[in-house]
Structure 1
Amino acid sequence: MARNKNFEPRGVIPATLLALNSDMGIDEAASRKHLADCALIDGVAAVTVNGHASEVHACTTDEQKRILEFSLDEVGDKVPLVNGVYADGSHEAQRLARMSHDAGASCLLVFPPQSLTMGGVTRPEAVIEHFRMIADATDLPLIVFRYPQASNLAYPFETMLELFEAVPTIRAIKDWCNDPKLHERHIRTFQSLERPVHVLTTHSAWLMSSLVMGANGLLSGMGSVAADLQVALFRAIQDKDLAKAQVINEQLYPLQQVFYADPFVDMHNRMKEALVMLGRLDQAHMRPPLMKLVQSELDRIREALRQSGLLGEAG
């Protein structure tokens, strides 16, 4: 059974990284420490594992199960755990959902199946059936991961409304639409439904602007490095303290610029390197096809950490 049965997915939810050894095996001790570093910050509502940030695409099912298990063991009695459901097939997604439920997760973050890239998302029945099968396996609250249009995995607005009606356990979306106009429409519409669906922004490159629109929270890989700043920004905006929010945003800006630079695929690679520079990880390894960063990029990350105030001048 879930350890936090009444969890409502809102507020600040960091998506944690996965520490690896040089042989690309999971460094459990370092991953546990990193998880605690993110989870035990005042104001953090939950933490996410088995997401993009923890390289779920490169992890076997057994590894995903083990990651969830040791994450629950480390912080599950302190904060709710959101577990990613990353699968191309609905039956496999259903199995992952059932495993997550049985292990003790509090919520599921459901990725869109890559198998829908060739126009499948334009068939509402395909999207709805995928989520229905997951909901049949568990009563845990679900977060719909809404991708940008360029991915060919973006659920249309009307389909999402149908989905919320068909699957009542959907309690939030992780919004990555990359379109400010559409993002604001999501916030205004979904959070005002008879059964509200929270919008958790993952527009971490323009986080302050997104939160000012009224998002009820954020689910962000950048929380692996700066969850304390994200909490402070969220609180300031909730308190309508614009001046304080602007000060915090000045700290976040250099990090956002360096982490989300092109190529975008290296964002979590950069975050691991940042944690090494901050002394929070001993080493930064990514499973191929992701590759080690070149020195010039490491220099840019170090400078961004200095500008943000996270790293002293001697760092």
Structure 2
Amino acid sequence: MPRFKDYRPAGVIPATLLALNEDLSIDAKETRKHLRDCALVDGVSAVTVNGHASEVHACTFDEQRMILADSLAEVGDKVPLINGVYADGSLEAAKIARMAAEEGASCLLVFPPNSMAMGGHLRPEMAIEHYKRIADATDLPLIAFQYPMASGLGFTFETLLQLFEDVPTIAAIKDWSNDPMLHERHVRTFQNLARPVNVLSTHSAWLMSSLTLGCNGLLSGSGSVIADLQVALFRAIQAGDLKQAQAVNDRIVPLSQAFYAPPFLDMHNRMKEALVLLGRLEKSFVRPPLMKLSEAEIGRIGEALKQAGVTRDGALPLAA
């Protein structure tokens, strides 16, 4: 049973990282410490595990179960846990969803199957069947992860509307459409449906611009490092305080530019290095095919942390 019954995804939701030992086994103690560091930030509404940020692509089913169980044991009584459903096949996705519900997750983040990359947007019934299989396995609320259309894994606007109608447990989308006009259309339409679907921004490279469109939250891997700054930005925008939002954003920009530089696939690798530089993680091992960053790039991350005013204990206070 979910620890937080009737949970509705909104607000600031960090996606947490995965600490590894030198032999690339999971360092459960360090992972739990990192999870606690993110979950207990004032203003964080939930945390996500078994997502891109925690290298779910390289984790077995049993490891995903262990990560979720450990996370629930650590902070499950304090914040809702959102568990990723990452699978190329719908039967495996349903299996993961069922496991997460049995363990006590409060919500599921559903990734598009990579098997749909070669034209799946032309067969919307594939997406609908995938989500129906998951919804049949659990009544937990679902977050649909919307990719850019250029990736081959995005769903058209019309397909999303059909998904919401056919799978009523979809409560939000994690919007990575990477198209400002489409993103705004999502916000204006989906949050005003008869059964509203929240838009959670994951446009972390242009977060302030995205949030000002009216998103009801954000779900971001960079929250693993700067959850406090994300909370401050979200609160300022919700309050209509442009000056404060700009001041917070000035702190975020150096890190967003460092984290989301090419190659984009290294974003969470960079966040892990940032936590080591800050003394919040002991080590920064990643599972292949991800590879260790160069010393020069790690140096650039260190400079970005200084520019952002981020320390071991969090972001330094904003200047008066």
TM-score of the superposed pair, with normalisation by structure 1: 0.98
The whole-number CA distance in structure 1 between the counterparts of 2:96 and 2:232 is 34
Tell which deviates more after alignment, 114-123 or 298-307: 114-123
Please show how residues 9-24 of structure 1 align to structure 2 within 5 Å: 9-24=9-24
Are 2:306 and 1:306 equivalent residues in the alignment? Answer: yes
The letter for the 2-side match of 1:54 is: S
Are 2:165 and 1:165 equivalent residues in the alignment? Answer: yes
Please show how residues 162-241 of structure 1 align to structure 2 within 5 Å: 162-241=162-241
The whole-number CA distance in structure 2 between the counterparts of 1:107 and 1:59 is 20
C-alpha contact 1:91 1:133 (8 A) present in aligned 2:
yes
Corresponding residue SS for 1:286: coil
C-alpha contact 1:261 1:267 (8 A) present in aligned 2:
yes
Q: CA deviation at 1:311?
A: 4.1
The whole-number CA distance in structure 2 between the counterparts of 1:109 and 1:193 is 21
The whole-number CA distance in structure 1 between the counterparts of 2:22 and 2:271 is 17
The whole-number CA distance in structure 2 between the counterparts of 1:285 and 1:22 is 6
The letter for the 2-side match of 1:142 is: L
Q: CA deviation at 1:5?
A: 1.1
What per-residue deviation string (whole Å, max 9, x for no partner) do you get for residues 164-202 of structure 1? 000000000000011111100000010010000000000
Corresponding residue SS for 2:5: coil
Corresponding residue SS for 2:172: strand
The whole-number CA distance in structure 1 between the counterparts of 2:27 and 2:286 is 12
What per-residue deviation string (whole Å, max 9, x for no partner) do you get for residues 120-143 of structure 1? 222121111110110001010000
Identical positions, percent:
70
Please show how residues 42-121 of structure 1 align to structure 2 within 5 Å: 42-121=42-121
The whole-number CA distance in structure 1 between the counterparts of 2:14 and 2:37 is 11
The letter for the 2-side match of 1:140 is: L
The whole-number CA distance in structure 1 between the counterparts of 2:88 and 2:5 is 27
Please show how residues 255-294 of structure 1 align to structure 2 within 5 Å: 255-294=255-294
The whole-number CA distance in structure 1 between the counterparts of 2:227 and 2:9 is 16
What per-residue deviation string (whole Å, max 9, x for no partner) do you get for residues 60-111 of structure 1? 0000000000000000000000000000110100010000000000000000
What per-residue deviation string (whole Å, max 9, x for no partner) do you get for residues 150-176 of structure 1? 210000100000000000000000000
1:249 paired residue number: 249
Corresponding residue SS for 1:83: strand
The whole-number CA distance in structure 1 between the counterparts of 2:209 and 2:118 is 32
The whole-number CA distance in structure 2 between the counterparts of 1:124 and 1:302 is 44
CA RMSD of aligned residues (A): 0.8
The whole-number CA distance in structure 1 between the counterparts of 2:125 and 2:264 is 31
Are 2:164 and 1:155 equivalent residues in the alignment? Answer: no
The whole-number CA distance in structure 2 between the counterparts of 1:44 and 1:223 is 9
C-alpha contact 1:122 1:156 (8 A) present in aligned 2:
no
List gaps (5 residues or longer) in structure 2: 313-320
Corresponding residue SS for 1:181: helix
| Structure 1: 4+ residue segments shifted above 3 A | none
The letter for the 2-side match of 1:216 is: N
The whole-number CA distance in structure 1 between the counterparts of 2:165 and 2:256 is 35
The whole-number CA distance in structure 2 between the counterparts of 1:311 and 1:65 is 32
1:141 paired residue number: 141
C-alpha contact 1:13 1:219 (8 A) present in aligned 2:
yes
Corresponding residue SS for 1:213: coil
List gaps (5 residues or longer) in structure 1: none
The letter for the 2-side match of 1:96 is: I
The whole-number CA distance in structure 1 between the counterparts of 2:88 and 2:294 is 33
Corresponding residue SS for 1:290: coil
The whole-number CA distance in structure 2 between the counterparts of 1:255 and 1:50 is 23
The whole-number CA distance in structure 2 between the counterparts of 1:166 and 1:49 is 26
